[in-house]
Structure 1
Amino acid sequence: MKAFLILEDGNVFTGTSIGSTKEVVSEIVFNTSMTGYLEVLTDPSYAGQAVVMTYPLIGNYGVCYEDMESLRAWPDGYIVREIARRPSNFRSQDGIETFLLKHDIPGICGIDTRALTKILREKGTMNGMITTNENYDLEEVKAKLKEYSPAGVVEKVSRLKKTEHPADEGTDKGLKVALMDFGSKNNITRCLTKRGCHVTVYPALTSAEEILAANPDGIMLSNGPGDPKECTSIIEEIKKLYNSDVPIFAICLGHQLMALANGGDTHKMKYGHRGANHPVKDLSTNRVYISSQNHGYVVDDSSLDESIAKVSFVNVNDGTVEGLEYTGKNIFTVQFHPEACAGPRDSELLFNKFITMMEDCK
């Protein structure tokens, strides 16, 4: 069946339908990862977006459900150059097309994803529609695309009830971590439990009073989707957490929300950072790590006074803020994903730093 990707600027790509055949309007973003397509599909940070995979062949090692980063897939749509019809991997339990159908995600394959990515890099991220309707009216679709704006995505992806995750057997350090779920990936929890932490994962709208009443040894603010400035009520609760003496480690959206809670500012990037090959420099050691990233917003480097926070990491490619250390506080935050799964795991050592911080404070 034919499928069409129609962009806000009037560009149309014609390919073959994969997955669900429903029509969808979404923000179109691209990811440069060569592997980890299942982790991308199950990352809640992609809620409200349709993902273009720049690597030309997707699905060659199939789907292993154990590798999912959440209980379901989140992107609105999926766009690839070529889909592997017969996966080859001893762990494979399913094909990518079957997975897309199960999760009702429409997709399109057989288009020039390189040309599409160049458009998004030159003109910036824009809205698009995936449809199998050959009788679409281009002007009507363009008008619809210009009106679309995703909202409320953090509440959409966050869990409804808190969950408990004990430390892995034989590792228990007696440390309790409260993890705020703004769209948390499973591997954040795994990185903590394998280091001996008991993790309680809380819904995004949980009050600071409830979290602090549990006397955690540390608090983690997770990754998540959307515009951080929309999370006004969450920002108010983070202000209260900041004023406590509990060590805090924040990732991605959590990093942005902590900055906003302290008077910082954020802005939308032209096309964001999404992929598993972004170099970030640790300014304290001048060491460069290769990181996994997924964000379309960034903290303004001049918006926070050094009396509040100092920049700790920068992106080597464009100089944007990738990390902050808060002055006089046991708080550090990063824009990238140190829990990265399928990888790279260069910066997973930041979890060790968090463990040490909690032990010192305890």
Structure 2
Amino acid sequence: MSDQRAILLLADGTTYHGKAAGKIGTTIGEICFNTGMTGYQEIFTDPSYFGQLLVATNAHIGNYGISDSEIESDSVKIAGLICKNFTVPYSRQQAQSSIQEYFEKEGVVGISDVDTRAIVRHIRDKGAMNAIISSENFDLEDLKQQLGAAPNMEGLELSSRVTTKEAYTMGDPNASIKIAVLDLGTKKNILRNFLSRDCYVKVFPARAGIEEINAFGADGLFISNGPGDPGAMDYAVHTAQAMLAEDKPMFGICLGHQILARAVGIPTYKMHNGHRGINHPVFNLLTGKSEITSQNHGFGVSPEEIEKNLDIVEVTHRNLNDDTIEGIRILGKPAFSVQYHPEASPGPHDAAYLFDQFVDSIKERMNGGVRD
């Protein structure tokens, strides 16, 4: 690595100077931080991070290299990386390349050798905001103009930019269960969790209509995670409402959770910082147990509006740090969702039971059972 310099400029004018990491260039996005100690490659390729500059709070990023087996989508989805130590040498035998080679191939611009603790403290206080990284342009006035022209995350629809272009299938066509996936930015490990539970999956583009989805003849319907503002996704809300009318078991994760809430009239809101990491404690109100969860979201479901609609929605999970809504189920419908990522990758597997819960509810329906 050369010692070429780089600059990070936040929308409020705060500036940090460091070294170039990855591709030499300029990139803009909403700055956010992730507290995970491992799993950087899975985080880079999570479509939910599309349009965001990621601050890694762990001191070393890249130290165990890059492996093709640890990607969650077809490419890197973060807009850029901010880290303390961009560690190019690696010794893991399973890795195929260094992080520098990977970022150059994927066209990712980053900055290292900055005080990530100071950056995290700053955006924790000031909230999420746009920022720009450049390792080629150090004219602050020009960077400010570029940054000022960038759209804010609030009101931004991004799922259509990361979703599959064409519907595709995965798994054994003779599996016992068929699941339709509305791809708002799904992760590969979500699909692997379905396949491991004897499910045949068809993944549909974000803007697929209910007629196209119904033609698959699915036994259950799933709404995936993804990037952007759920408040700007009326098209997905209309599809979710049509799905609810089918009265088939439904499950939503992260953005899918927010879309399901909107489908029954519960609005969402932009959080001050959001939750991103693999150590977030969640309390399951139905079992009385707590779970350590993997999370990545900057929007939430309105708790005030849920309190006004307890005849429609039941809260099933709450965040133990800030009491935000982490899970709901729709009363009178076989539909539920969670704000966090039970598929992990990276993260703990405390919440993997939710996939079993979904599959079991499908089996009950198929066998003529009644689900409360």
TM-score range, shorter chain: over 0.9
2:283 is matched with 281
Shift of 1:308: 1.1
Shift of 1:66: 1.0
Judge conservation of contact 1:167–1:194 (CA < 8 Å) in 2.
Answer: no
2:126 is matched with 123
TM-score (norm 2): 0.94
**Counterparts of 1:124 and 1:109 in 2: how far apart (Å)?**
22
2:78 to 72, 75, 78: 75
Matched positions, count: 358
2:6 is matched with 3
**Counterparts of 2:350 and 2:274 in 1: how far apart (Å)?**
21
TM-score (norm 1): 0.96
1:190 is matched with 192
Describe the SS at the equivalent of 1:303: helix
**Counterparts of 2:87 and 2:27 in 1: how far apart (Å)?**
23
**Counterparts of 1:134 and 1:231 in 2: how far apart (Å)?**
35
2:253 is matched with 251
**Counterparts of 2:214 and 2:250 in 1: how far apart (Å)?**
12
1:329 is matched with 333
Judge conservation of contact 2:49–2:77 (CA < 8 Å) in 1.
Answer: yes
Q: Does 1:24 align with 2:23?
A: no
Judge conservation of contact 1:47–1:76 (CA < 8 Å) in 2.
Answer: yes
2:18 to 7, 15, 36: 15
**Counterparts of 2:216 and 2:247 in 1: how far apart (Å)?**
14
1:91 to 60, 82, 94: 94
Structure 2 spans left out of the alignment, 5+ residues: 367-372
2:161 to 156, 159, 169: 156
> Residue type of the partner of 2:280?
H
2:369 is matched with none
Shift of 1:152: 3.5
Shift of 1:134: 5.2
Describe the SS at the equivalent of 2:204: strand
Shift of 1:144: 3.9
Q: Does 1:230 align with 2:232?
A: yes
Shift of 1:175: 0.2
Shift of 1:353: 0.4
Matching of residues 29-40 of structure 1 within 5 Å: 29-40=32-43
List structure 1 segments (4+ residues) > 4 angstroms apart after TM superposition: none
Q: Does 1:58 align with 2:93?
A: no
Deviations 1:110-140 (A, max 9, x none): 00001000001010011111012454134x5
Deviations 1:181-217 (A, max 9, x none): 1000000000000110001111101001211232211
**Counterparts of 2:172 and 2:281 in 1: how far apart (Å)?**
31
**Counterparts of 1:9 and 1:343 in 2: how far apart (Å)?**
32
Describe the SS at the equivalent of 2:16: strand
